[in-house]
Amino acid sequence: MLLTGYFVWYVVSACSAVARSQYSSPNTAEYVSSANLTQDKIEPLCMPSILDIDPKTVVAKIQAGELPSKVLRGILDRFPDATKNDAGQVLNEAFPNMWLIECVWAWKASKQSTAIDTQFDLRVIGRMIEAGADIPWDISYCDAEQLRIRQALIDDAAEELRLARDAVSYESLYDKAKRLDSEILCIEALWDGDTTGWHVVLSAVVRESDNVVTKWLGTVKFGGDIRLFNGAVSPWPEAMHAKEVGSKLADEFKASFYFPSPDEPNDALPNWIEFGGRSI
């Protein structure tokens, strides 16, 4: 109940931000500063598009009123083997110096959700407005659209949280561990991170013949990097959940439980085997 309330609060907070800050993400200079990058290091991250598409056609479509998500989905339909990042590179080239590829990285394109597509569109449009691009949308459009999709985003977030919790429930993880059919030496919980935020990876360290190997059980992920900026970081719900179910699994299988950083994210710590095969 606590985690569900927290996640809904997280989405509402994200949806209720002041109009301009809500839609316009940090500009390139700000992003470089926050990521400890320099301008000459940005360009190598934006690899040229591998798709045979003239960026000018993308500019023309968007200037004619076709939303960015629709343009990119059209590209993905045309090139079935392409990824969203492949399509995003075309958008990035069409509107240079806006760092639009970062919006693409955060876009959950596989969900086929109108609300999530609209949220992506507003992020892209916000950067375009900030950069002074010639587009047919303004901040008042963004305000109205954000209000329209607010409840749908909350519903999507609640469903995503439910599925995420089901995937790493004690019952689900116990079934996975039981199916390993090997002696479990340790249940391990380690932090990891990607472009969408921090998460805890739960694994079972097992003995197979003369080898000791690590088997993935599940990934505990309930939030995003916005928590680093709004002060809602501690206690991390991922860590609380991982500690609860991990220790319970360890007790059930008479194994060690290893979670070297239960209070804050840290992905630089050794795993159980590297630590010497003992719990702390």
pLDDT of residue 194: 76
SS3 34: helix
CA angle 158, 235, 162 (to 5 degrees): 20
pLDDT of residue 19: 34
Whole-angstrom distance, CA of residue 214 vs CA of residue 185: 10
Distances from the Cα of 151 to the Cα of 58, 70, 145, 194, angstroms: 31, 22, 11, 27
* DSSP bridge pairs for 211: 208
Residue 174: inside a domain: yes
Domain closes at, from 102, 137, 163: 163
pLDDT digits (tens, 9 = 90+) for 97-132: 999 999 999 899 988 899 999 999 999 999 999 999
Domain closes at, from 163, 198, 231: 163
Residue 112: inside a domain: yes
pLDDT digits (tens, 9 = 90+) for 166-182: 889 999 999 999 999 89
Tell whether 17 and 149 lie within a shared domain.
Answer: yes
Give residue 26's identity as a one-letter amino acid code: P
pLDDT digits (tens, 9 = 90+) for 248-274: 999 999 999 999 999 989 999 999 999
Tell whether 68 and 144 lie within a shared domain.
Answer: yes
Segment 8-34 shows an average pLDDT of 37
Structure tokens at 68: 């960015």
Helix (H) or strand (E) holding 23: helix 19-23
pLDDT of residue 42: 41
Tell whether 121 and 182 lie within a shared domain.
Answer: no
Domain closes at, from 129, 163, 197: 163
Helix (H) or strand (E) holding 167: helix 139-167
Tell whether 145 and 22 lie within a shared domain.
Answer: yes
Tell whether 145 and 174 lie within a shared domain.
Answer: no
Segment 155-165 shows an average pLDDT of 84
Residue 13 has pLDDT above 50, yes or no: no
Tell whether 237 and 196 lie within a shared domain.
Answer: yes
Q: Do 13 and 227 meet the contact criterion of CB atoms below 8 Å apart?
A: no
Residue 20 has pLDDT above 60, yes or no: no
Question: Could you tell me the sign of the dihedral formed by the alpha carbons of 15, 16, 19, 20, in that order?
Answer: negative
pLDDT of residue 32: 29
Tally the domains of the chain.
Answer: 2
Tell whether 60 and 142 lie within a shared domain.
Answer: yes
pLDDT of residue 17: 36
Residue-number span of the structural domain to which 237 is assigned: 170-275
Tell whether 104 and 51 lie within a shared domain.
Answer: yes
Q: Do 272 and 186 meet the contact criterion of CB atoms below 8 Å apart?
A: yes
pLDDT digits (tens, 9 = 90+) for 28-82: 333 223 333 334 444 444 555 678 899 999 999 999 999 999 999 999 999 999 9
Helix (H) or strand (E) holding 214: strand 211-220
Residue 148 has pLDDT above 80, yes or no: yes
Q: Do 127 and 98 meet the contact criterion of CB atoms below 8 Å apart?
A: yes
Mean pLDDT of the chain: 81
Residue 280: inside a domain: no
Whole-angstrom distance, CA of residue 1 vs CA of residue 4: 5
CA angle 155, 160, 162 (to 5 degrees): 95
Residue 12 has pLDDT above 50, yes or no: no
Whole-angstrom distance, CA of residue 48 vs CA of residue 143: 33
Quick one: DSSP state of residue 25? P
Tell whether 7 and 101 lie within a shared domain.
Answer: yes
